[in-house]
Structure 1
Amino acid sequence: MDNAGIRIRALLKEKNMTQKQLAKLTGVTESALSHYVKGDRIPSGDALANIACALSTTANYILGKEDVLDFSNVKRILARNKNEMTNQEKAELIDLLFGKD
């Protein structure tokens, strides 16, 4: 399994998401996604962008070009996903940022 496959698998587990759910969200076939996760294939640019967006990360992270998301990446991810966040999730994020438990 290549780096992209390992990271996609880890992100799926972290998000408690199945490959089938990710395929549906991204428009990638389940078969193609399975090949990406196994490391048999690398996703095309469009597929990679859709997968990264659905997993709230970056293509660079999935490809192993960056090991940690720096603040500019986090900011971009939050901006991209803010409309999908519930008020509860937004409140939890604010609490996390300001140190509330």
Structure 2
Amino acid sequence: MNINKISVLLIDFPKRKFQIMEGVSKEENMSTIGENIKKELERRGLSQKELCKSTKISESALSKYLSSTKPLRTDILAKIARALDVNIYQLLGLEERPGTTFDVCKTALMARSGTSLTNDEKKQLIDLIFGHE
């Protein structure tokens, strides 16, 4: 079994866990993310067009993400967070809590973006996915 393939294919597992843990509906979560991205753009004095250029996201797609009419994939969220130089948790409207699934989500996002995972990080992700916590 290829650990890297599993971590990439099941990347959205932690996202669902966030919604359950925080008691936030999918619609509320998407709305919060869009609002937080808008706030960061405003704070930095950036336009949506500039964000699109730096992330290679179409203006149409970004508009849908910001208005919560299109679900935001974790890899796109990671690109936006990098471009805005913010922690992904800020865009999600969550506090980073060490030692929880937030750490695992961070690991999963690293896998999605092509960053290498240590063997311990791979094991942690697989344990979470298959319930061996």
TM-score by length of 1: 0.61
The share of aligned pairs that are identical, in percent, is 37
Q: Structure 2: give runs of 5+ residues left out of the alignment.
A: 1-29, 97-133
CA shift at 1:45, angstroms? Answer: 1.4
Q: CA deviation at 1:42?
A: 3.1
The amino acid that maps onto 1:47 is I
The equivalent position to 1:4 in structure 2, one of 22, 29, 33, is 33
- Distance across 2 between alignment mates of 1:37 and 1:54: 15
Matched, 1:39 2:101: no
Matched ranges for 1:1-101 at <5 A: 2-66=31-95
Please identify, of 38-47 and 11-20, the stretch whose mean Cα deviation from structure 2 is larger: 38-47
Cα pair distance change 1:15/1:53, threshold 3 Å: same
Conserved 8 A contact 1:26-1:54: yes
Residue 41 of structure 1: CA displacement?
2.3
Give the Å deviation of 1:66.
Answer: 2.3
Give the drift of 1:21.
0.5
Q: 4+ runs of 1 displaced by more than 4 Å?
A: none
| Contact kept in structure 2, 1:19 and 1:30, CA below 8 Å | yes
User: Number of aligned pairs?
Assistant: 67
RMSD of Structure 2 on Structure 1 (CA): 1.6
Unaligned runs of 5+ in 1: 68-101
- CA distance in 1 between partners of 2:43 and 2:52 (Å): 16
Q: Contact 1:4 / 1:42 at 8 angstroms: preserved in 2?
A: no
- Aligned amino acid, residue 66 of structure 1: E
The residue type paired with residue 13 of structure 1 is E
Question: RCO greater where, 1 or 2, for CA within 8 Å and sep 6 or more?
Answer: 2
